[in-house]
Structure 1
């Protein structure tokens, strides 16, 4: 065996020993051995050892690949190959054990035979599937809440940027989108609508192997299952962290086998902008100058494709290796994942190295089980702006730059036009800046499970995490910002550090008495976060050589033109919780939970602690005789649940008056910093509370060949946290944070899984999901606190239009665009408006009516309906996976059209569509300035072929050491069917201004991937 002492990827070097390469993964279906058929063979008895062989197949004769075949009581074992065959040398009287994850272990007596045909029968009891819920597991058939499970076999195939994309379009009611092509971007998630208006995250709580975390901590290839707790009764066990729902990730684990395995995944991919906006070429620009009698000096004499100047054809690659081994007493897993991602823009990249190591050990006759897990993450990416990864402003400049202008002047200096507003050479912005962000994360998890007596399990979990980010950024003296601001360079440095500690203690008692089954869970949880950060910038450096590494050299310190900031804080969360479940005859089901939780953010108030109850019931009608006798339903379960969750305030000590160093007074000839009040006292402030009802129906027919669920829910978020204006005096400052208001979400979710075709050679599995959601801000005032008007105006167009884009009216839904409504243009190409009274008004007459009273609701940025359709095909050695999804009944504000389709901006480049007739009548008049109106609000409905992956598994491999070989290719974001004229209709949906397609946004991409899976 060859030993590689150092295996190097990019900037990372990892010493490893290659003991084997690749393991073959089986399916996640549950199987049981139905019978063993012994075949006649010539038996040759040996005194000690003999060789046997056999084949493992399913009832259709298909080979079961990767089954573990062990000689009982020894470390002697093997696995079935691509054809389901095995051979093994064993003792003459040995008993064979056949097992694999997701399969039931079977023992076979080998006496008297040397050849076996072993037939596995698919287990139709899908209700026995174990689902991970808060602080434990539960049989699928016993669940009374709304819980969705996606297993590794059903994950989206091909390249994924983060874990969220694995289940994109798979879970009804969970909206997952990646509205940016930035290689450092992460998915946006929204489960059953928004649950707050105070600007906090809408992402669900993520739990990784029992410990809170984030998608960035785990490699997508290292995940076994993802469970989504959707309703309040399921999520209430997590109290204030469960309002947005809970996503529970179970990572891959070491198999209880007596031999080592190595799994390997690798793929390479490239990307391209999914759709480019068509700007004027140099030839178009020159023609426009002539036709519109513009100054001839605007033609600079060159032909420059500015977008091409800052983009590239990226090549990215991913490598994932998993080592497992050990026995049923002690086993281990080591996962190493390396991702080197290039973006479509130059100086846009992301390099990740994730390592996870886990050791499990059982002792005292399996009464004690302990595991130790270490997670490490190293992440490095280039920055092209202070606080950015890739600065989208550079992309904007590539769009609007004069296509007849050169990249550089004849003297070699950068071409710039400092006199033009917001006009900068995008190439110089990239070349004259430098930045680097480095993230280091480490986590230690320790878990001990103790079974002192039968049916009682005591579990302790301890976790310690440390996060550290360092960042630096610099601009040379030649950077346009320094030329414009008369500076000799700019640099900044910063660091963020946080430490998280977690302790969870639980005790669970499970008991079955006749037809009664029940469980009792009690627990305690303590979580603490300590954070620190600082930031500094400086300017006017003697040289550009040092970049951001010698920041003290800048003269800005002496000239008082530099800035500093730092912060430090601690927060903690303490909770006591309990849950009970009860089942009678597997027919009547009950669950209740309670969490009592306190948080440091509310210290000093009257509501430091909150109570979060939940209850749910289920009735398996399919077990009743009146349905059971029909034989039609394999499963039919009606369930209903109610639960209360909360949202933590983000500000520390939010209910207490605070002072800040924000004032100065003059004394002895100098100004001295002093303390001033910065926040009023409000001891009545508390958690936001979400009260949710859910009614659902689970069904399965035709031996579960068709199965699914339907859910109806109603969410009321009460005591919304909002900042209200108050008089001074009697208050210390003119605003107070208080709990006032109510937000409502209602919706329907449908999921149907079915197998249209299943023959010996061909299988087609399909899944369809549909959801709808509507929200409403019911109220935002009470007798003590009232908003100044009945409206909130979020969203911004940015400069130079500078107005809001949305309006939220109390009593109406969130996400409404609000602006001027145009219905036509006159013969001169000037807008014709509809005023607030419904009258048609000419452009000139409307100039005196430009106010809020004459604006209209122009649409809504939140889709009303979502749908997904996922298909998996298998024909002999070929496999094909196609995932599709769509969103409907919503609008998008197209910022690029709003800014680049106006003929008044001839100094800058613009879209080719600016030459088109508006409303089919006339080209927009060049005297009409930039404006936000209904013409730029478009329907965003789309249907995407999100991913297409085709693979082939070879029956004959190139080497006797290679047991299996699979090659595959995929295309992500393959096709979008839409009427939207922008780059991609999948735009921002979080916050209070959904539907804004920002002009600086990193454009979405189409991805082409080639990958291989090999088994030795």
Structure 2
């Protein structure tokens, strides 16, 4: 009996223990999307049981479970997730949008937003819509796909980059470039490999960009790198590789040796050196390049990583030009404490080695002008040189010089995102970007520097280093109740940048074997003729910002933001400024009275206003500067002491340029979004332009001064239309069209303190021997106008006749500078893009067109090489063609004859691909091969090489449309590629 009692007691204790172990736990939580917006109607169930529930309108849920358990979470349009439960009582779950609905989320300043709630002019381009095949950088991925954004490739140089201009020119001395952020960290369009990019979002108008303050007048490009979006515990590897060949896009038709001998027989004073050389053939090659990209994905929904390795080896179409580049990126994400704490660490490292083959533009000029009867080598086996002005053997320039560059950049960033409650996110982002730029240049004893100029070998070395630190603290609060949805953002940003550089040059070496590695051995150093320069600068930027988003029933939406920002680059009286932005939208399609109109899926009216700024390129423009000047000084104690002279005036009132922009737009969708798109009209006024103003001395120390004076205006219209034209089981055709216009005007060049005496400034330059400016920007007029003598034909002696300021026809010899007039404009009035993607079962075809219309280009190739003035130089075969029945003779001048209409339409990219059935090869889940052609054909009446290959930035910002003679020719590229996923 006693034993039975003991057994019953132990059995009871065991039962009590089992009952305690199996007691249920109440789990309360929230399901959110990537943006932090609650997901209503998400399904939650316990794996292997009948227990299930769903989230309410605020994304909240409650469920009972017995630990351990697996919670299965699914929602329409999102990737499902399995969550392991072990006695948790609270949980926040974030679901990723699936591939079919990724376009519903766009990246905005300091976060993301559902497309349906966007109230500003924002364009988003996803990876599936990128330009295929060989692309130079992130900008070329979206070329022709963003209305209002003009992306050009002015050079075929493999070390070059694309140029970006958004909604016209907006500054005289400030940067025209957009702010580029890679996963929230400032960078540039070449920071990451194009294959490593998931999406590019463009903040186009002021209301969207205002939250970035003084860096955002040129627009904002938000680049999102690829991430591991799988919730499964598996590892995958992707390989993307291609090889390509390039050819010159359009070859200039120069005279050959037989043409020269024919001209000599006709009495023209050309020299026959007895040879037969095609100099363009000698400096050009057919380059073969290749690119390889490996991407690794691994981990699960809590801890995952992404790694990528990109190797590029590009050869240039000109001899000894090319670039070898290695990009490495690694990102690690980890969730802790039931998803309340999310961490990210990312490292991006880039190393590139470039060979710039001498000075490529000058070499191209020499290959163009070289006498085709001249020989490559002289009788002694050396390079054949002549003593004519600026006439050098291009092969000697190439092979007797070294121009190396090594660029290294390391980017370290980390973030911590803490959610104390489901609706609140607290985030800290820190980063450090370090780059080093090292160049080396030298010429041998057989280079013209020595054979003509007696320098006996030259060498130089330069280095630059830059370190930029960033700290950002943000708080984001999302709240939904009933039909109302709020998002509140507040934050602080601090950026600190230090840059320094050093350069030294020497010549007259005992041997040329050292190249640039023993600069001290050049005797020019001992003679005081070597040069040495160094500098260092620093700037700081701090900002406080906030934003509120409100949406009611997805019908009425409001966004308001403000940024208070300070910069060390400005004067002591104006280091802080305020940049507000506000925009609103009304989606008429969601109104009850529109429900019977099933044809309309979206009809969202938008309007916004925002203020952004532009920072001075030099961080010390507001401060006084002095230089030592050897030509100004005095004898002190029998020695000449250089003068300490002012080089810049003190301006404590220097401040940022202020862009005020209005934007109205319409987002539309018809036939269940088979047809979607947007229309936008904008007006932007840039006030307080940074202008180098002439000032009197005295009272000022220096004759000009950087100050805020003047106003500029841009306005334009933009259209984007996407159409899913064909959508069947076997055939799909998606097409989109972009169209944009832009008008600009310089409103004034004065301020309250100074009035200009000349209400214009000149820009651009023809170069020697003409030596004259090419453009004039005048108050009240548009930017980009050529200022030129208007030609009306030739006189009987073959000289130009031009139109005088009174409208009379006069000889060019009698013309004065006052007879120059405005003629044409280098900025296109209209830009278009037409992009098509067709899928036929396993085949895919993409065809992209781009065009620009309503502008002119100064054909400097024609100006110098369609003009047989210098008989030492080769010319185009058209040089002796009659003009109005007369032959041009001895008249090398800048006249309107050389300004040509430059409308063009390009077949920009054509790609044909084939994707094999999944797992058709064991171990390979995806396999695709493709062939692509880039810059295939240009329909144009322009006679030069490429009407698009002109520069619109830097020194040519206000002299657009100049097709320079010293250039690296643009190319056509054919690519064969392979995509594999293991």
The residue correspondences of 1:492-503 to structure 2 (distance < 5 A) are: 492-503=460-471
State the match for 2:329 in structure 1: 356
Deviations 1:443-497 (A, max 9, x none): 1101100001120100100001110011110001111122222111000001000
State the match for 1:983 in structure 2: 945
| Conserved 8 A contact 1:127-1:140 | no
| Conserved 8 A contact 1:829-1:918 | no
| Conserved 8 A contact 2:708-2:751 | no
| Conserved 8 A contact 2:598-2:671 | no
Match of 2:530 among 522, 537, 562: 562
State the match for 1:591 in structure 2: 559
State the match for 2:840 in structure 1: 875
Deviations 1:67-91 (A, max 9, x none): xxxxxx9xxxxxxxxxxxxxxxxxx
Mapped partners of 1:730, 1:962: distance in 2: 77
- In the alignment, is residue 819 of structure 1 matched against residue 781 of structure 2? no
Match of 1:148 among 113, 123, 142: 123
Deviations 1:871-901 (A, max 9, x none): 0001111110001010000000000100011
Deviations 1:927-982 (A, max 9, x none): x2311111110001000010000011234988433343211101000111000000
Mapped partners of 1:829, 1:374: distance in 2: 65
- In the alignment, is residue 789 of structure 1 matched against residue 758 of structure 2? yes
Q: Which deviates more from structure 2 when the two are superposed, residues 735-744 or residues 786-795?
A: 786-795
The residue correspondences of 1:601-640 to structure 2 (distance < 5 A) are: 601-603=569-571, 605-640=572-607
Q: Which deviates more from structure 2 when the two are superposed, residues 891-900 or residues 903-912?
A: 903-912
State the match for 1:242 in structure 2: 216
Match of 1:274 among 237, 249, 256: 249
| Residues 474 and 664 of structure 1, relative CA distance in 2, 3 Å threshold | same
* 1:216 match: secondary structure: coil
- In the alignment, is residue 1004 of structure 1 matched against residue 976 of structure 2? no
| Conserved 8 A contact 1:99-1:106 | no
Q: CA deviation at 1:271?
A: 0.3
| Residues 126 and 963 of structure 1, relative CA distance in 2, 3 Å threshold | closer
Deviations 1:191-219 (A, max 9, x none): 00011011x33121001101111122101
Match of 2:176 among 202, 217, 220: 202
- In the alignment, is residue 924 of structure 1 matched against residue 892 of structure 2? no
Structure 2 gaps of 5+ residues are: 1-38, 42-47, 49-64, 84-96
| Residues 618 and 959 of structure 1, relative CA distance in 2, 3 Å threshold | closer
The residue correspondences of 1:278-297 to structure 2 (distance < 5 A) are: 278-294=253-269
Mapped partners of 2:279, 2:181: distance in 1: 44
Mapped partners of 2:963, 2:326: distance in 1: 32
- In the alignment, is residue 158 of structure 1 matched against residue 121 of structure 2? no
Deviations 1:227-281 (A, max 9, x none): 0000000000000001100000110012332011001100000101100110000
| Conserved 8 A contact 1:708-1:751 | yes
* 2:742 match: secondary structure: strand
Mapped partners of 2:346, 2:793: distance in 1: 65
| Conserved 8 A contact 1:518-1:582 | yes
Mapped partners of 2:432, 2:966: distance in 1: 38
CA-based RMSD of the aligned residues comes to: 2.3
Q: CA deviation at 1:720?
A: 0.6
Mapped partners of 1:95, 1:950: distance in 2: 44
Mapped partners of 1:776, 1:204: distance in 2: 21
| Conserved 8 A contact 1:638-1:696 | yes
Deviations 1:482-538 (A, max 9, x none): 222211100000100010100000011111121111111110000000111000000
* 2:351 match: secondary structure: strand
| Conserved 8 A contact 1:459-1:505 | yes
- In the alignment, is residue 904 of structure 1 matched against residue 873 of structure 2? no
The residue correspondences of 1:459-608 to structure 2 (distance < 5 A) are: 459-603=427-571, 605-608=572-575
Q: Which deviates more from structure 2 when the two are superposed, residues 959-968 or residues 645-654?
A: 959-968
Q: CA deviation at 1:832?
A: 2.2
- In the alignment, is residue 693 of structure 1 matched against residue 662 of structure 2? yes
Match of 1:859 among 824, 835, 851: 824
State the match for 1:215 in structure 2: 189
State the match for 1:760 in structure 2: 729
* 1:640 match: secondary structure: strand
State the match for 1:411 in structure 2: 380
Q: CA deviation at 1:98?
A: 9.2
* 1:308 match: secondary structure: helix
Q: CA deviation at 1:96?
A: 9.0
* 1:597 match: secondary structure: strand
The residue correspondences of 1:794-805 to structure 2 (distance < 5 A) are: 794-805=763-774
Match of 1:939 among 888, 892, 901: 901
* 1:969 match: secondary structure: strand
Q: CA deviation at 1:440?
A: 0.9
Mapped partners of 2:154, 2:702: distance in 1: 39
Q: CA deviation at 1:1014?
A: 2.2
Q: CA deviation at 1:730?
A: 1.5
| Conserved 8 A contact 1:96-1:107 | yes
- In the alignment, is residue 325 of structure 1 matched against residue 298 of structure 2? yes
- In the alignment, is residue 261 of structure 1 matched against residue 236 of structure 2? yes
State the match for 1:63 in structure 2: none
| Residues 697 and 918 of structure 1, relative CA distance in 2, 3 Å threshold | same
- In the alignment, is residue 451 of structure 1 matched against residue 425 of structure 2? no
Mapped partners of 1:460, 1:502: distance in 2: 11
The residue correspondences of 1:88-167 to structure 2 (distance < 5 A) are: 103-105=78-80, 129-167=104-142
* 1:690 match: secondary structure: strand
State the match for 2:282 in structure 1: 309
Deviations 1:127-171 (A, max 9, x none): 981111000111111111000000000001110011110000000
State the match for 1:117 in structure 2: none
Q: CA deviation at 1:561?
A: 1.3
Q: CA deviation at 1:612?
A: 0.4
| Residues 293 and 583 of structure 1, relative CA distance in 2, 3 Å threshold | closer
| Conserved 8 A contact 1:825-1:918 | yes
| Conserved 8 A contact 2:175-2:616 | no
Mapped partners of 1:647, 1:482: distance in 2: 46
State the match for 1:664 in structure 2: 633
* 2:878 match: secondary structure: helix
Mapped partners of 1:874, 1:682: distance in 2: 61
| Conserved 8 A contact 2:319-2:357 | no
Mapped partners of 2:531, 2:80: distance in 1: 66
* 2:190 match: secondary structure: helix
| Conserved 8 A contact 2:726-2:733 | yes
State the match for 2:28 in structure 1: none
* 1:602 match: secondary structure: coil
Deviations 1:561-595 (A, max 9, x none): 11000001211101111111111221111111110
Deviations 1:701-746 (A, max 9, x none): 1000001000000000000111111211111222222111000000
- In the alignment, is residue 422 of structure 1 matched against residue 390 of structure 2? yes
| Residues 515 and 963 of structure 1, relative CA distance in 2, 3 Å threshold | closer
Mapped partners of 2:945, 2:605: distance in 1: 44
Match of 1:706 among 675, 683, 696: 675
Q: CA deviation at 1:1007?
A: 0.2
| Residues 883 and 667 of structure 1, relative CA distance in 2, 3 Å threshold | same
Q: Which deviates more from structure 2 when the two are superposed, residues 585-594 or residues 686-695?
A: 585-594
Mapped partners of 1:787, 1:764: distance in 2: 57
Mapped partners of 1:923, 1:757: distance in 2: 57
- In the alignment, is residue 683 of structure 1 matched against residue 652 of structure 2? yes
* 1:981 match: secondary structure: coil
* 1:966 match: secondary structure: strand
| Conserved 8 A contact 1:714-1:746 | yes
* TM-score, length of structure 2 as denominator length: 0.89
Mapped partners of 2:403, 2:266: distance in 1: 44
| Residues 508 and 1008 of structure 1, relative CA distance in 2, 3 Å threshold | same
Deviations 1:680-715 (A, max 9, x none): 222222110000000000000100000100000000
